[in-house]
Amino acid sequence: MKQNNVKTFFKRLSKKNPSPTTELDYKNNFTLLIAVVLSAQMTDVGVNKVTKKLFSIADTPEKIIKMGESKVKSIIKSINFFHTKARNIIKLSKILIKSFKSQVPKTRQELETLPGVGRKTANVILSVAFNQATIAVDTHIFRVSNRTKIALGKKPIDVELGLQKVVPKQYKKNAHHLLILHGRYICKARNPECNKCVVNDLCLFKNKNFNLKKNAAV
């Protein structure tokens, strides 16, 4: 996609959604971190269902540790890979207390030292908690970027670096959520709603779907 079109692309998405943000529920930076860790291979809706109870009991590293791994497991058992995630939540809580004075660190390097936190999770935290212009490439962003040809790549890191190069400066802070929400509700994996898309004339996807009964390949 040409750079002028990229700017128009984000201008239109921003006009439609001026204040995009995460759909994960959280109380503070720590609960945001826990919610994002739980969200791996899960929907935000599914995560919010369990964190409502979890965060009502424990919203700090100290309270999570006091709760214990077994109790955490019992609350998050509907989450995919809940055994591993519960273990990671306890471990990262201990590290936060010992190494970061119970505070969520503000750098990617420090965040990635925490169990269950990779580059994508770190980018989400940096974006949402610390208002940094990072782009966490999930399945939605990966799909939208490749379909529209804003940033092509076979791996998430390739798409992330491509987006960082082409997204205009004024849209970088919101680009992460603009693309996620567009992918979640409009540019869906199956049956993308191209008839409702505000950028369908800029999109270079060959199999555009203006008939909702017709499936379109990713």
Catalytic residues: 120, 138
- Here the contacts of 96-99 (C-beta below 8 Å, separation 24 or greater) are 96/30, 96/61, 97/61, 97/62, 97/65
Instruction: State the residue for tokens 């603009």.
Output: 178
Angle at 121 between CA 115 and CA 170, to 5 degrees: 150
Angle at 176 between CA 45 and CA 199, to 5 degrees: 100
* Distances, alpha carbon 25 to alpha carbons 46, 101, 104, 155, in Å: 11, 24, 17, 28
Q: Which residues touch 127 (CB under 8 Å, ≥6 apart)?
A: 133, 134, 135, 136, 173, 176, 177
- Here the contacts of 15-21 (C-beta below 8 Å, separation 24 or greater) are 15/198, 16/198, 17/178, 17/181, 20/174, 20/177, 20/178, 20/180, 20/181, 21/128, 21/177
Residue 62 structure tokens = 């100290």
Identity of residue 103: Q
